[in-house]
Amino acid sequence: MPNRAVEDRWAVVTGASSVIGLEVARSLSEIGYSLILQGARHANALELLADELGSRGRRPVVVRANLASERGVDHLMATIRERTSHLDALCWLAAAGVMRPVSALSLHHLEWTFRVTAGSFAVVTAGLRPRVSIAVSSLGSQRIAPEYAAIGAAKSALETLVRYLAVELAPASSVFGLRVGLIDTPAARRLSRYEELEALLRRRAPMGRLVTPEDVAAAVVTMVTEMSSMASGSFLTVDGGVGLVL
């Protein structure tokens, strides 16, 4: 565990109600961050997590916000500004999307997916200028997974926004991408042909296993505490080497 003190520093985790978000929040809390946790539909999961973390230290602030809307984004930003004038870290896990073939996607589906997964990240990062901002992306930003087109396209946009923001917000803020391989979560299991995809990736994985939420949390902690600001705009891939294998 890194020993750099982060007392009295605030971090925000969006998509904190996801299985991965819960683990990221636990790890950031463990290294001393005060937390603001965002979710949308599953506020109960966040309240339970806030109770768990609150029993060991400062209780995280829970914010429910629909990040597809201007109102939701404003509400999240206002909640953060009430707590801190200088946000130390932002980890962006909020994502949503319609899983269908491209031929079954409407303009509305695509726009909504982009708003939650990529657009709101840019507005919040540019508006708050945290010391470190991490956008969690997926291998589907570059590779094709069945019916993942809308989210894959939004993740590609997210990655492009990481690069633009890294240039625009330098030198005060560092902006990184974290590209993650398949993780067995309830959301991933909604992927078309999930079982097939999982079996294929397990067979190919040089590390012999899939990525876990704990792997993502460990990477976020490293990026927040150890990454040089000179690496701003770059990406860390945590996929057990799957993306390297033909």
Of the residues 12, 33, 36, 39, which one makes contact with ligand NAP according to CB under 6 A: 39
Which contacts qualify for 75-82: CB closer than 8 Å, 24 or more apart? 76/12, 76/14, 76/38, 76/124, 77/124, 77/127, 77/128, 79/36, 80/10, 80/12, 80/36, 80/128, 81/128
* Tokens at 138, concatenated: 């997926």
* Tokens at 71, concatenated: 């109102």
Query: Does residue 15 touch ligand NAP according to CB under 6 A?
Result: yes
Of the residues 63, 182, 205, 217, which one makes contact with ligand NAP according to CB under 6 A: 182
Give the interface size with ligand NAP as a residue count (CB under 6 A): 27
Query: Does residue 93 touch ligand NAP according to CB under 6 A?
Result: yes
Query: Does residue 141 touch ligand NAP according to CB under 6 A?
Result: no
Q: Which of 158, 96, 89, 84 is nearest to 123 (CA)?
A: 158
Of the residues 30, 52, 54, 66, which one makes contact with ligand NAP according to CB under 6 A: 66
Of the residues 9, 13, 17, 217, which one makes contact with ligand NAP according to CB under 6 A: 17
CA angle 156, 162, 168 (to 5 degrees): 140
Only segment of 28-36, 51-59, 161-169, 178-186 that touches ligand NAP (CB under 6 A): 178-186
Of the residues 28, 90, 94, 145, which one makes contact with ligand NAP according to CB under 6 A: 94
CA 135 to chain centre: 5
Given a contact cutoff of 8 angstroms between Cβ atoms, the answer to whether 147 and 194 are in contact is no
Write out the residues near ligand NAP by the rule CB under 6 A. Answer: 15, 17-21, 39-42, 65-68, 93-96, 116, 136, 138, 180, 182-183, 185, 187-188
